[in-house]
Structure 1
């Protein structure tokens, strides 16, 4: 395996780990916003921004943590046959089936980019009382999908290296 591909795999995995660990802290921000919303509803006039901000933080948490979850093996996998296969067979099956995930993520990114461009061009806002702009959360969504695409490509390169008898 060429050195630049090995460096690419290491870079992607290190980058996704760092972003994923930072994204974990969005859960605390989400809890703080939702707690503030609950307290404000009970004690005085409810804040109109807390529900939508909670939705945006959850979307960021989910999208930015997706590549890290893939990297850590947290994704659901059908282990009926997979767990009994050899490492080489697993690598071969993963190297073939990753293209379905890459296709799905590519279509998702295409739709996300178009939706983000629309939000930027027309100043799209979420319906409701607070009416926040949608472009920032859509940009985070596109970035998260890009990170997942990069992680999947790193998986593919690892699988190809395993098939060639190398470890990255």
Structure 2
């Protein structure tokens, strides 16, 4: 495996683990909100927004890790009947279609982030009314990382294709 692909895989793994840690403050926030609301009859103005931003961050930052671990849905009933060479070729083709889309999305999200920051956009979802740019940073990082992981998957599939072609 190339050093660049190894670096992508390491980065994806580290951010995937970091994303899983977002569940800790999410659980604590939700627990606090339930206690504040139902025990003390004093709901917070911030728990809802913090909760949905943590949930979204967890999901978005976990996408590349999910791809790396091979946990996205595949239609195995068809692919099991195919040779390893054919499966590698299908992966190369499908990832090669996905990569430009991820790059385009990452580019578009950059403008979306800058626009939100310059305009000082706020969520409007609760009384807390958080700025949206931090969440848009997560969007940008998540899709950039997914684009990198798709590139790594193309390289790994090419290596598999070459390996089974020489057998």
Query: Structures share a fold, TM > 0.5?
Result: yes
Q: Which residue of 2 aligns with 1:124?
A: 121
The residue correspondences of 1:113-152 to structure 2 (distance < 5 A) are: 113-127=110-124, 128-152=126-150
Which sections of structure 1, spanning at least 5 residues, go unmatched? none
Which sections of structure 2, spanning at least 5 residues, go unmatched? none
Of residues 10, 14, 21 in structure 2, which corresponds to 1:25? 21
The residue correspondences of 1:82-161 to structure 2 (distance < 5 A) are: 82-127=79-124, 128-161=126-159
DSSP 3-state at the match of 1:164: helix
Distance between the aligned counterparts of 1:73 and 1:124, measured in 2?
Answer: 37
Cα root mean square deviation, aligned: 1.4
Of residues 24, 35, 41 in structure 1, which corresponds to 2:37? 41
Distance between the aligned counterparts of 1:99 and 1:109, measured in 2?
Answer: 16
Aligned residues: 162
Of residues 52, 60, 65 in structure 2, which corresponds to 1:63? 60
1:7 matched to 2:8? The reply is no
Runs of 4+ off more than 3 Å: none
State the TM-score, normalized to the length of structure 2. Answer: 0.91
Distance between the aligned counterparts of 1:156 and 1:70, measured in 2?
Answer: 12
1:17 Cα deviation after fit? 0.6
Distance between the aligned counterparts of 1:165 and 1:119, measured in 2?
Answer: 47
State the TM-score, normalized to the length of structure 1. Answer: 0.91
DSSP 3-state at the match of 1:132: coil
1:33 Cα deviation after fit? 0.7
